[in-house]
Amino acid sequence: MNERIAWAREGRRARITLQAGPLNVLGIADIRALTAAISASESCTVVSIEAAGERAFCAGVEVGDHVPEKAPEMLAAFEEMARAFLSASPAIVCAANAPAMGGGFELLLLADLALCSTRTFFSLPEVQLAALPPIACALLPRAIGTQRAFDAILTGRKIDAQSALAWGLVGSVVAPEELAATTEALCARLLGFSAVAVRACKRAIRLDDLSLAMHAYRDELLPSRDGAEGIAAFLEKRSPVWAHTLPIGDDYR
């Protein structure tokens, strides 16, 4: 991490805060810092990503890093970050308090749960620079459908918060003054669950394949201590006590 990408851990919760200037524009070092922050959070149950300031959640990646001399390094770092997000064990919650553009929009696509304030809008302006948003091209059609993905990527137009909600880009839209509390409540709810169950659910959803989803349940969750504890606690009418331990012996504590 660095001074522009803050990371802190509180028990089984990690917080990542973008504080990279007024618009939170990310450089290559910041992208790598985000990757490191996600990796450092692997033993957590939930990671929240928020932004300091009110002008932008994140206005994307430095335009200067898109020039031919720097673009290969930037794209390699961006891909590594995306893969870290998609393979991470904790649930990743992204809360946008202000506009999310380009790579900032793509950060929300990489999150498992996204929410925003009413003052947020989303856009993918890369086409205007004869560039493309690689993560959006890969993930957006599945999230909102092919036609809407073409609309967002090929026009670069602004998508307001209510449209983002209707399209399924975010799960909830709240007033700006309610965003922090809503994010905390969501994270608190997730912290009440087994880290093993959260990981297995994430893998099953991300895999997008029934046989692999069944594998995540049958071979990872069912043999775990938490897999047995959840059912036993329900039948015994008591609160579960999670071990947060995988059947292969990886300890999440």
**HEC profile for 194-233?**
CHHHHHHHHHHHHHCCHHHHHHHHHHHHCCCHHHHHHHHH
The one-character DSSP state at 169 is: S
Q: Which two tokens stand for residue 176?
A: 């700006």
Is the CB of residue 13 less than 8 Å from the CB of residue 187?
Answer: yes
At 181 the three-state DSSP class reads: helix
- Quote the longest CA-to-CA distance of the chain: 63
At 140 the three-state DSSP class reads: helix
Catalytic residue among 50, 62, 126, 220: 126
Catalytic residue among 10, 106, 177, 184: 106
Q: Is 50 a catalytic residue?
A: no
Task: List, as one string, the DSSP characters of 58-108.
Answer: B--B-GGGGSTTTHHHHHHHHHHHHHHHHH-SSEEEEEESS-EETHHHHHH
Is the CB of residue 196 less than 8 Å from the CB of residue 246?
Answer: yes
Q: Is 106 a catalytic residue?
A: yes
What is the set of active-site residues? 106, 126
